[in-house]
A = this chain, B = another copy of it.
Amino acid sequence: MTTPQTSRGKIPRDLENDYTFETAAARRAFLAEQTGVALEHVSQYSFDPSILPGNVEHFTGVAQVPIGIAGPLLVDGEHARGEFYVPMATVEGTLVASYNRGMKMLREAGGVKTTILDDAMQRAPAFVFDDARQARAFGEWLTEHFTEIKQAAEATTRSGRLRGIEQYSASRILFTRFDYTTGDAAGQNLTGKATAAACAWITSNYDGITNFYLESNFATDKKSSQVNILRTRGKRVVAEATLPAALIEKHMHTTGERLFRARQVSNLGGFMSGVNNNGAHSANGIAALFIATGQDAANVAESSAALGFSELLGNGDYYGSITIPSLIVATYGGGTGLATQRECLELLGCYGTGKVRKLAEIVAATVLCGELSLGSAIVAEEWVRAHDRLGRNRP
């Protein structure tokens, strides 16, 4: 295919200040001229575009994503304590209702207990050598020089701290994971910058590196991976609760035993299908909360990995838990300070510094409510069907 003759034009850009009402309008006018489509709703936004540098380029308007509110969600966390109204930005019907139903039941059950198990954001440079022995020697050197490397990395950041460097070797390559804590930021950018600085120090002080790559599929940013399920990316959070048998019957019209039996089958299904999440649908709650609160929605890729685990207790009560091993959230930086996004964070009492763990706990608690709600819906279906089948009048 060759470039069409009636080639389309270049998107207008103001080299001095591209973040104004005027440049946005100019781009919309340009698009209308080129395509015949007027972006009227897209043009309706309530903030000054001057807040947008660092968030978007070629700003032209906004997507208006409906927000529904679920709650109150009762959280028994270490950082989030009490009841919350949860803003969920979504275009999928029943999503808010389903989470809301789960929140109602879990509130009666005493709330969702949440625990942050780990916290690590990484960049994962790879270093290539002439042979495997040199890669191994470099790995030893890396361990010995951790202090200097940490210093070089941390010189570039106020809030990032280099916790450690994981090493994974194959062939003549050493793959590493530089693990940081990143305060209230999600931290992909600061870890990128810090690791680049660390690698500059490394390559200046170590001979024999044939090639190095700042990233080589070991981080694994915007992707789901076993290494992140095992070793954490962002926050590793658990939400857990025990549902009394009576509550399950009342709210979910089923029993703990049925819930549990269904989990067994879907665990086997997930193991066989090679799924990255043996739970129900954590991505729904996570995506809705991410969009509402200004998180990076692309991180749904890794944040949607989950480990469900349940137990049927002797008395018919049901213990349910979900572990999110790579939940990437921020209450500072990124999209958190934008107009609607900041309001939604404030609604949760999660805007600004010192709040990121609280937000992580609220997300996890929300997810658990959705897991139990959808899990029950599938099982109640079973019950309806079984009833239908068993009760039918066969000639």
Contacts and interface: CB of A to CB of B under 8 A. Distances in A.
Interface residues of A, number: 175
A57 B373 CA distance: 15
B222 A270 contact: no
A67 B57 contact: no
20 contacts: A1-B111, A2-B110, A8-B85, A42-B87, A57-B68, A57-B93, A62-B89, A115-B136, A128-B265, A132-B240, A168-B230, A170-B325, A214-B382, A216-B265, A222-B281, A226-B273, A226-B275, A227-B230, A228-B273, A287-B297
Interface string A112-153: 010101100000101010011101100000000000000000
A155 interface: no
A304 B307 contact: no
Given A41-B340, A278-B217, A131 B298 contact: no
This chain: copies in complex: 4
Interface in A15-67: 27, 31, 34-35, 37-42, 44-47, 52-67
Contacts of A304: 222-224, 298, 300-301
Interface stretch (A156-164, A204-212, A247-255): A204-212
A104 to B, nearest CB: 9
Contact of A199 (B57, B64, B385): B385
B3 A110 contact: yes
Given A91-B296, A203-B386, 20 more contacts: A8-B71, A9-B72, A11-B70, A41-B47, A42-B344, A44-B46, A57-B95, A58-B70, A115-B131, A115-B136, A117-B132, A117-B136, A169-B323, A173-B268, A211-B261, A222-B281, A225-B276, A268-B309, A283-B299, A301-B304
